[in-house]
Chain A
Amino acid sequence: MLILFVLIVLKHIFVLLSCVPMENKNLELLEEKFQQKIDQDIKIEPNDWMPDNYRQTLIRQISQHAHSEVVGMLPEGNWITRAPNLRRKAVLLAKVQDEAGHGLYLYSAVETLGADREDTIDDLHSGKVKYSSIFNYPTLSWADMGAIGWLVDGAAIMNQVPLCRCSYGPYARAMVRVCKEESFHQRQGFEIMTTLCKGTLEQKAMAQDAFNRFWWPALMMFGPNDADSKHSAQSMKWKIKRSTNDELRQQFIDVTVPQAELLGLTIPDADLKWNESTNHYDFGTINWDEFWQVVNGNGPCNAERIEARTKAKENGLWVRAAAMAHAEKQRERTKQSA
């Protein structure tokens, strides 16, 4: 009896002692398996095991993307009521509606990671989670609708096409759908610019002015230089990110400069020139002070954008409450009649 008791105690001690290292070992094994899946290009799905950091990084990245789609409705929404003809009004409405749809798919993708949509939105309003800082610049003329479609949706495509191969399944699939629509947006923007550049002197000047204002902020959309990008290396390893900021930025410049030349627009960068030896365009220094100021809330329209979104939510509270109360009443009624 005593021996048995001693044995049991010993066993417990052994189990207790072995528990901690065993767990660590398990975790390492899981992480190793996880990385193997990623290396073999096997998609990670919502119910699969994933490291907590992977989950958190994705929640941050996808919710930033979702917020960018939704906040992005505001600068373009600013010109729908002033669109110059009925066809342009309809096309712009359709575009902004697409962006709201993108926001919706992306919020759903965030939810597959266990984050609540409303909490995610509150993080936008409190400033905890950012959105693309391009949307903190004002839209001052009709030509801005052209510049945004062409440059901003163009840069978004550059960023998002590689994400169609992202390791997280729901995000990758959302990106496939989003990218198709983004390329339509980019074409309509370029078409607006083409019409303006073929138009009167006033129209051409309007296009050049919009280009001057949006060119540098568009280049900033790719984020800080690789050397200063704190999340890049791990994200590349996890295939959440598939090209570096600088690679994407260079690719964007190389594609966009000839388009600007085709339009007859002057690129607002005295240092921009083709480099025979690298086969790329060299370009001037980006104003990173401006970039960080805008990211940190000091852009021309940061306050207005957040205010508009917060107000939309606050003004909608009674509407949501009504919808919920009505649904509850309906449930009660069906219960009673059953």
Chain B
Amino acid sequence: MEKFNYLLRLGDDSLILGQRLAEWCGHGPILEEDIAMTNISLDLIGQAISVLNYAGDVECKGRDGDALAFLRLEKDYKNLLLVEQKNGDFGDTMMRQFLFDAYRKLLFERLQSSTDKQLAAIAEKSLKETRYHFKHSAEWVIRLGDGTDESHKRVQNSLNNLWRYTDELFYVDASDKVLTKQGILPDLSDLKSLWLQEVNTVLDLATLQIPTNNWQFEGGRKGVHSEHMGYLLSELQFMQRVYPNMEW
């Protein structure tokens, strides 16, 4: 049960962010970025497929990745609040991506040594993609932060708005502790300090400041989402809800 729960968190982060990035398709600021964002979305959907299918196997109730992706209630999605936030402008999207990629890169590095062979294999494959995503988003954060006055102001604003969702990246509850004991989850206690280091290095280059108000939100990991989530799910689930039990 704990493992199923953890896989949902991992898979839902990929699924929901992949869904968000797909909204950019055809509307990117330059054609090269249309290609890059579509590509990252594709990687994330690929991760969601392997993680949620595995979650379905672990659960043993006959649900596959699609059933989990499309047919749960909102409260049963366990993704971070960060990834369901709206795309906003290109700076908001890149900042959201950067904060997330920095975390996922460190997480997948650790998960490679999980005693769960399948989880370790997924982590290894996803890490390669995530390193590329991180390079891409970090470079944009630097360009925008250390670009023009306007871009600096905009992306500083993005950071101010998104910072409140970053504590949740390191959310831990009793279920994680069980998995740590079993060795399925490696020790992740220093993840936050490593993340802060990585993030600070990039923000320094970007001449951006972490906001002084550190009031934080959480809820996604427990299934309590933001107002945006219902709309996102209504698009995601549309076909499966309107035409149930069909092959596509």
Does A35 reach chain B (CB closer than 8 Å)? no
Asked whether A319 and B30 contact (CB < 8 A) given A81-B23, A86-B65, A89-B45, the answer is yes
Q: Which of B26, B41, B243 is most buried by chain A, counting CB atoms within 10 A of its CB?
A: B26
Q: Which residue of B lies closest to A86 (CB)?
A: B49
Known contacts A316-B28, A320-B29: A93-B243 contact under CB 8 Å: no
- Give the one of A100, A199, A322 with max B CB within 10 A: A322
A80: which of B22, B28, B148 is its contact (CB, 8 Å)?
B22
A322/B143 contact (C-beta < 8 A), A93-B41, A308-B26 known: yes
Contacts of B243 in A (CB 8 A): 84, 200, 202-203
Question: How far is A320 from B31 in the complex, measured between Cα atoms in Å?
Answer: 12
Partner of A312, one of B29, B38, B146, B236: B29
Q: Which residue of B is nearest A317, CB measured? A: B29
User: Which residues of A have CB within 8 Å of B150?
Assistant: 318, 321-322
Could you say which residues of chain B place their CB within 8 Å of the CB of A163?
Answer: none
Contacts A81-B19, A319-B90; A312 near B26 (Cβ below 8 A): yes
Pick from A203, A315, A326: contact of B29, CB under 8 Å: A315
Q: Is B32's beta carbon under 8 Å from chain A?
A: yes
Q: Is B230 an interface residue (CB 8 A)?
A: no
B89 within 8 A of A: yes
Complex interface: stretch among A42-50, A69-77, A152-160, A214-222: A69-77
Complex CA gap A101/B38 in Å reads: 11
Tell me if A115 counts as interface (CB < 8 A to partner B).
Answer: no
Chain A, interface residues (CB within 8 Å), range: 35 or more
Chain B contacts with A in 156-211, Cβ cutoff 8 A: none
Select from chain B the residue with minimum beta-carbon distance to A321. Answer: B148
* CB neighbours of A311 from chain B (8 A): 27
Q: What string of 1s and 0s marks CB contacts (under 8 Å) between A57-92 and chain B?
A: 000000000000010011001001111111111100
B240 close to A81 (CB less than 8 A) = no
A96 contacts the other chain (Cβ, under 8 Å)?
A: yes
Instruction: Other than A73-B25, A318-B151, A321-B151, give 18 A-B pairs with Cβ distance below 8 A.
Output: A70-B31, A73-B26, A74-B26, A77-B27, A82-B239, A84-B243, A85-B248, A89-B22, A90-B45, A93-B38, A93-B45, A94-B42, A97-B35, A104-B32, A315-B89, A318-B150, A319-B151, A320-B30
Residues of B within 8 A of A (CB): 15, 19, 22-23, 25-35, 38-39, 41-42, 45-46, 48-49, 52, 65-66, 69-70, 89-91, 142-144, 146-148, 150-151, 154, 235-236, 238-240, 243, 246-248
Residues of A within 8 A of B (CB): 70, 73-74, 77, 80-90, 93-94, 96-97, 100-101, 103-104, 107, 142, 192, 195, 199-200, 202-203, 308, 311-313, 315-316, 318-326, 329
15 sampled A-B residue pairs with Cβ under 8 A: A70-B31, A73-B25, A81-B23, A86-B65, A103-B31, A104-B31, A107-B31, A199-B247, A312-B28, A313-B29, A315-B29, A316-B90, A318-B150, A320-B29, A322-B148
